[in-house]
Amino acid sequence: DVILSVRNLTANVDGKPILKGVNLEIKAGEVHAIMGRNGSGKSTFSKVLTGHPEYEVTGGEIFYKGENLLEKEPEKRALEGIFLAFQYPLEIPGVSNLDFLRVAYNARQKHLGLEEIDTFDFEDLVQEKLDIVKMNPSFLERSLNEGFSGGEKKRNEILQMALLDPTLAILDEIDSGLDIDALKIVANGVNQLAKPDNAFLLITHYQRLLNYIEPDFVHVMYDGRIVKSGTKELALELEAQGYDFLDEKVLTEV
Ligand code: ADP
Ligand code: MG
Ligand code: MG
């Protein structure tokens, strides 16, 4: 089953072309990684997938579960199972983490035609999921992300992901700023959540994350295009040679 199919996608930011023809197909059960140097368009691609209004699609197609994704509002995309873990997670003072999670969960329930969950049952459900990210229950009472450390924010996003059970989870630089213990917890969370009927798109600058989450496919983004795809070996090759080797490669191959 194809979950995501992207063909010749082009997009502008501030009137400037950033994505210059992205092609990608993701099937159910797959974990894909996109690597690339800073400024190559990785985050732009993830934002275009979620429908962020600042990113203007100028050409190409995106099909999600067989339907034209570009026709759907960002909220609809989220409700239909596209989840983006932000590079810089939001802080919302005055809203407890637990309340935030419950509102997000119930919006999804409603969309699926299922009953909303009450506060007590929701607490039980969250308790179960806390284990996945080894989070202390006291985090639930605190304001969303306020005063959370980088590692705590990332773990909180994995918790959110565990509750929302997305079909396509996009993790943009989830590894940035994490020490090795936090990285292992986050990676372990992702590994537990990866199932035959969902898919993951990991976006990362570094190979390090891929020591803990084994991708089925690795893609390299370069100047707004995926210029190379392969298996995990490609990530190791990039690490060994750095991104500079792509300059010559791309220039000679194009
Ligand atoms: P990556 O995630 O690979 O580092 P980005 O997608 O963040 O790359 O950025 C690609 C290019 O688009 C960069 O030149 C960046 O400056 C530009 N860009 C991204 N987002 C914005 C924005 N909101 N406003 C202006 N320029 C942007
Ligand atoms: Mg798998
Ligand atoms: Mg980025």
Q: Whose CA is nearest to atom 21 of ligand 1?
A: 13
Fold of 2-253: Rossmann fold (3.40.50)
Residue 216 Cα to chain centre, angstroms:
16
pLDDT for 39 equals 95
Average pLDDT per block of 10 residues along the chain, 254 residues long = 98 97 98 95 96 96 98 93 78 83 90 93 92 87 82 87 94 87 89 96 90 95 95 90 77 58
Which of 10, 16, 44 to mutate for ligand 1's pocket (most ligand atoms within 8 Å of CB)?
44
Q: Whose CA is nearest to atom 15 of ligand 1?
A: 39
Residue 132 Cα to chain centre, angstroms:
18
What φ, ψ does residue 109 adopt, rounded to 5°? -55, -45
Quick one: CA torsion of 40, 45, 47, 52, rounded to 10 degrees?
110
Neighbours of ion ligand 3 (CB under 5 A): 42-43
What are the extents of the domains in the chain?
Answer: 2-253
What φ, ψ does residue 251 adopt, rounded to 5°? -65, -35
Report the C-alpha gap between 89 and 153 in whole angstroms. Answer: 7
Cα–Cα nearest to 167, from 198, 201, 202, 191: 198
pLDDT for 125 equals 93
Please work out whether the CB of residue 46 comes within 6 Å of at least one atom of ligand 1: no
Largest CA distance in the chain: 61
ipTM of the complex: 0.92
Ligand 3 center to residue 205 CA distance, Å?
Answer: 8
Please work out whether the CB of residue 224 comes within 6 Å of at least one atom of ligand 1: no
pLDDT for 53 equals 92
**Around Cβ 228, how many Cβ atoms within 10 Å?**
19
Report the C-alpha gap between 152 and 157 in whole angstroms. Answer: 9
pLDDT for 212 equals 93
Pairing of strands 82-85, 168-172: parallel
Report the predicted TM-score, pTM, of the whole model to 2 decimal places: 0.92
pLDDT for 88 equals 61
